[in-house]
Amino acid sequence: MNFASDNTGPVHPKVMAALMDANQGYALPYGADDLTAQAVAMVRDVFEAPAAAVHLVSLGTAANALILATLSDPWQTIFCHRHAHIHEDECNAPEFYAAGTKLTLVEGADAKMTPDSLRKALEAEETRGVHGPQRGPVSITQATERGTIYTLDEIRALADVAHAFGCPVHMDGARFANACVALGCTAADMTWKVGVDAVTFGGTKNGLMAVEAAVFFDPKHSWEFELRRKRGAHLFSKHRFLAAQMVATLQDDLWRDMATAANDRCGELARGLRQMPDVAFLHDPQANIIFARMPRAMHQKLHRAGAQYYVMDGDVDTGPADEQLLARLVCDWSMTQEAVDAFLSVARS
């Protein structure tokens, strides 16, 4: 019953097997190996973008920060939702890599910017000539940190607003797969076809050990990104082991299968919780994350039964039994129906 995060579970066995397979003999370092070429080709394929610049790094924060630095200037401000990972959970990595940019926080329900809130934020900048920051890239988190998902139309609408102001669009896809299968669309559908210019194609939260692809649909950014990656100390020497993971996840749509499993378990969990009158959802769970308020007594039972998850706003042990405390429940690819059932059964009891 581990619902703590999608980075606490095991790596998929096929990915581990791919790492073992990759460990044969010698391979050129720093991405000059055959597996890396294969991984790049497969990422281009899955994005239907044969000319895209594709580079691997081990961590999502690295991909985000390096992409945003490549797309911005230090005197600009990057637009993102108030609850974006790049703002809340990266300890100023974007500001570090982008050499002192600002982040302009955009409002919106369910951790989602709206075309209107984005336009207002964009209009409010660059009103003071050289004195204020200039407009920089817009970063969309898909799926959001709160487990919600932008529809394709919503993404296109945001991208249209961004482009109208001359701003490139980045998608932080740490949970790209969860969003993609939830929408039932392709990787291309969710990105360049609706105006996304660069994407962090996440693997680590979806069954890999530690790999993300940074994808630019305009390949002109490729060499700058490579230099930034090296200078940021993110160029792996034994690069084949990054590549092997990426190849494994793209083979036979494993990435979609894993995300589907995670989303499905999360859906079952949500359906079960919804039937309990004392559970209140903060957002409609659309991917693999639930934010829900549950009474302390329920938390206590679950904790005693060994369920693991974060309680965001209070102490489970002490306080009135009926006080509502906010739980974050995350399902990864390895979540079992048994665990979901067990969780629900304890909660119900």
When the beta carbons of 103 and 325 are compared against a copy of itself, the nearer one is: 103
Q: How far is the CB of 246 from a copy of itself (least distance, A)?
A: 15
From the CB of 49, what's the least distance to a copy of itself, in Å? 23
Q: Considering beta carbons, is residue 28 or 37 the nearer one to a copy of itself?
A: 28
* Rounded Cα distance, 92 and 228, in Å: 17
Nearer to a copy of itself, 75 or 281 (CB): 75
Bridge partners (DSSP) listed for residue 330? 289
The contacts of residue 239 (CB under 8 Å, 6+ apart) are 29, 30, 31, 32, 33, 36, 56
Write down the least CB distance from residue 92 to a copy of itself, Å.
5
Q: Nearest 5°: CA angle at 294, between 172 and 262?
A: 40
Residue nearer to a copy of itself on the CB measure, 23 or 337: 23
Report helix, strand or coil for 104.
strand
Nearest-approach distance from CB 236 to a copy of itself, in angstroms: 6
Q: Return the sign of the alpha-carbon dihedral for residues 306, 312, 318, 319.
A: negative
What is the nearest approach in angstroms of a copy of itself to the Cβ of residue 65? 5
170: β partners? 139, 198
Q: Is the peptide bond before 143 cis (omega within 30 degrees of 0)?
A: yes
Closer to a copy of itself by CB, 92 or 345: give it: 92
